[in-house]
Structure 1
Amino acid sequence: MLQVYNHTYTHVRSQFSEGTMAHTSIIKHILVTFCFLECLLLSGFIFGWSSLVYVFKELGYFHKYCNHSLANSSSSLRISNNVTTEDGLHNCHEQDAALDLVFTISAVGSMLCLFPLGAVIDRFGVIIGRVTSGSLLCFGLLLAAFTTPKLSELLFPACLAIASGGLLLLVVDIKIVANLKLRRKGTAIAFLDSAFDSSAFVTVVIQIAYNLGLHYRLSFFVILSLCTISMVTTLCTVLYSRASAPDTNDVPLEFADPQNKIDNAFDNPGLDNNGDIPTIPPDTNSDPVDKTLPITPTYQIEKRFPTLHSAMGSALFISLLIWMGLLHLRWTFFIGAFNVWIERLTDHDKILVNNYTFICNMIQFGGILTAPAQGYLLDRRIVSSSRDPLRDLKNCRLTFFITALIFSVFSLCVAIPVLQLQIVSFVLLSIARCFLYSLVSAFITFTFPTDYLGRLYGMTSIVNAVMTVIQFPLFVATEGSELGFYVNVIFLPITLLSFIHPVYLHFYIKNTLKPKLTGTSSTIRLEG
Structure 2
Amino acid sequence: MSLCQKSCGVQRGLTLFTGGVECLGFAGIIFGWASLAFTLKQQGFFSSYCVNATGVDGLQVSDCSGQDEQFSLVFTIASLMNNFLTLLIGFIFDRFGTLILRLLAICLYTLGTLLLAFSTPALASLIFPGLALIALGGNMLLLTNIQVGNLFGTHRSTVITLLNGAFDSSAVVFLIIKLSPCGIVVAYQAGISLKASFLFVSACSIIHLLRTFFLLPRTIIPYPLPDHYTYGFSCGKLKKSDDSDNIDPQMSTNETQSAQQDCAKPEKTFRECVLSKLFFFCLIWFSVIQLRLVLFIGTLQPTLDLLTGGEPSLVGQYINAFAFTQLCGFLCAPWNGFIMDRLKRKYKVAGMSDCEAELNSSLISIFVTALMALVFSICSAIPVLPLQYFTFVMQVLCRAFLFGGNATFISVAFPPCHFGKVFGLMLTLGAAVTLLQFACFTVVEDVLDGDPLYVNIAMVLLMLFSFIHPLSLFLHCRRIAAQRTKYAM
TM-score normalised by structure 1 residue count: 0.74
Q: Is the alpha carbon distance of 1:29 and 1:91 closer, same or farther for their aligned partners in structure 2, counting shifts above 3 Å?
A: farther
Say which of 344, 357, 370 aligns to 2:319: 357
Q: Is the alpha carbon distance of 1:517 and 1:110 closer, same or farther for their aligned partners in structure 2, counting shifts above 3 Å?
A: closer
Identity of aligned residues (%): 33
Q: Deviations over 1:427-461 (max 9, x none)?
A: 11111111011100111112222222222121122
In 2, distance between residues paired with 1:342 and 1:219? 26
C-alpha contact (below 8 Å) 1:42/1:227 kept by paired residues: no
Q: Which moved more, 1:335-344 or 1:324-333?
A: 335-344
Matched, 1:214 2:196: no
C-alpha contact (below 8 Å) 1:181/1:247 kept by paired residues: no
In 2, distance between residues paired with 1:414 and 1:157? 30
In 1, distance between residues paired with 2:133 and 2:22? 17
Say which of 200, 222, 228 aligns to 1:246: 222
Give the AA of the match of 2:373: F
Give the AA of the match of 1:241: P
In 2, distance between residues paired with 1:224 and 1:65? 30
Counterpart in the other structure of 1:494: 462
Bigger radius of gyration: 1
Q: Is the alpha carbon distance of 1:457 and 1:488 closer, same or farther for their aligned partners in structure 2, counting shifts above 3 Å?
A: same
**SS of the counterpart of 2:268?**
coil
Counterpart in the other structure of 2:136: 164
Q: CA deviation at 1:93?
A: 4.3
Counterpart in the other structure of 1:146: 118
C-alpha contact (below 8 Å) 2:87/2:428 kept by paired residues: yes
In 2, distance between residues paired with 1:47 and 1:436? 14
Give the AA of the match of 1:356: Y
Q: Is the alpha carbon distance of 1:227 and 1:19 closer, same or farther for their aligned partners in structure 2, counting shifts above 3 Å?
A: closer
- The structure whose residues are more often helix, as a share, is 2
C-alpha contact (below 8 Å) 1:131/1:231 kept by paired residues: yes
**Number of aligned pairs?**
434
Counterpart in the other structure of 1:509: 477
Give the AA of the match of 2:188: Y
Counterpart in the other structure of 1:296: none
Q: Deviations over 1:74-106 (max 9, x none)?
A: xxxxxxxxxxxxxx9626444443333222222
Counterpart in the other structure of 1:119: 91
Counterpart in the other structure of 2:259: none
In 2, distance between residues paired with 1:348 and 1:55? 16
Counterpart in the other structure of 1:38: 22
Q: Is the alpha carbon distance of 1:381 and 1:456 closer, same or farther for their aligned partners in structure 2, counting shifts above 3 Å?
A: same
Counterpart in the other structure of 1:128: 100
Q: Which moved more, 1:490-499 or 1:92-101?
A: 92-101
Give the AA of the match of 1:25: G
Give the AA of the match of 1:100: S
**SS of the counterpart of 1:90?**
strand
Say which of 259, 279, 283 aligns to 1:317: 279
C-alpha contact (below 8 Å) 2:73/2:438 kept by paired residues: no
**Structure 2: stretches of 5+ with no match in the other structure:** 54-59, 180-186, 227-264
Counterpart in the other structure of 2:290: 328
In 1, distance between residues paired with 2:373 and 2:78? 26
Give the AA of the match of 2:207: I
Counterpart in the other structure of 1:524: none
Q: CA deviation at 1:317?
A: 1.0
Give the AA of the match of 1:507: L
In 2, distance between residues paired with 1:309 and 1:57? 46
Counterpart in the other structure of 2:355: 389
Q: Which moved more, 1:93-102 or 1:496-505?
A: 93-102
**SS of the counterpart of 1:21?**
helix
Counterpart in the other structure of 1:49: 33
**Structure 1: stretches of 5+ with no match in the other structure:** 1-15, 71-87, 251-302, 522-528
Question: RMSD of the TM alignment (CA)?
Answer: 3.2
Q: CA deviation at 1:351?
A: 5.0
Matched, 1:432 2:398: yes
Matched, 1:190 2:161: yes
In 1, distance between residues paired with 2:432 and 2:69? 20
Q: Which moved more, 1:58-67 or 1:42-51?
A: 58-67
In 2, distance between residues paired with 1:131 and 1:194? 23
Q: CA deviation at 1:352?
A: 4.2
Listed as ranges, the matches of 1:203-282 within 5 Å are 203-208=174-179, 209-236=187-214, 239-241=215-217, 244-247=220-223
In 1, distance between residues paired with 2:189 and 2:285? 41
C-alpha contact (below 8 Å) 2:28/2:138 kept by paired residues: yes
Q: Is the alpha carbon distance of 1:207 and 1:415 closer, same or farther for their aligned partners in structure 2, counting shifts above 3 Å?
A: closer
C-alpha contact (below 8 Å) 1:179/1:450 kept by paired residues: no
**SS of the counterpart of 1:380?**
helix
Q: CA deviation at 1:469?
A: 0.9
Give the AA of the match of 2:17: T
In 2, distance between residues paired with 1:187 and 1:427? 21
Q: CA deviation at 1:135?
A: 1.0
Q: CA deviation at 1:334?
A: 2.5
